[in-house]
Amino acid sequence: MKIPQHITQALRDAEHKALATYGKKGINVVPVSTMFVEKETILLVDYFFKKTAENLKENHTVALACWSGLEGYQIKGTCKYLNQGKVVSKIKKWAAQKHPDRTVSGVLSITPEDIYTVGANSESGYSIFTASADQTGKAS
């Protein structure tokens, strides 16, 4: 699913970001400090995601919440853990300049399947985009 531009911008500008995963030991939720949004993928940089990486070995389903104030989005999708390749090399180079005190362990590549609104209003919790929607936007 191509992430709409207004949502891409909202994710990039979000004051707060949290990622949820699930594994043998249950739910794990972590703060996210570095995120890149591409056309169809969200990339999260793993500096300290030990339990998250363990969970992703068993279960690739994730939920990412990003918000500012009382409005934001929740992205549900599947995640691949990358520890080599062009994307990882590019991010490691970027991080070495931007955050020289941190070590990049890997990159989480999330493919969105559903996007929901979150916030303190009556529109909160509704699916606004889904990978299974047809051209009319209706779920198939």
Is residue 140 included in any domain, yes or no?
Answer: no
Average of pLDDT values for 22-28?
95
Q: Is 133 a residue whose pLDDT tops 60?
A: no
Q: Is 124 a residue whose pLDDT tops 90?
A: no
Is residue 137 included in any domain, yes or no?
Answer: no
Is residue 136 included in any domain, yes or no?
Answer: no
Is residue 94 included in any domain, yes or no?
Answer: yes
pTM summary value = 0.87
118, 74 in Cβ contact below 8 A? yes
Mean pLDDT of all residues in the chain? 89
Higher pLDDT, 133 or 137: 133
Q: Is 127 a residue whose pLDDT tops 50?
A: yes
Determine the pLDDT at residue 138.
42
Of 108, 86, 135, nearest in space to 36 by CA: 108
Q: Is 30 a residue whose pLDDT tops 70?
A: yes
| Residue 131: both structure tokens together | 């990978």
**What is the extent of the structural domain holding 28?**
5-130
Structural domain tally of the chain? Answer: 1
Indicate which CATH number applies to the domain containing 12: 2.30.110.10
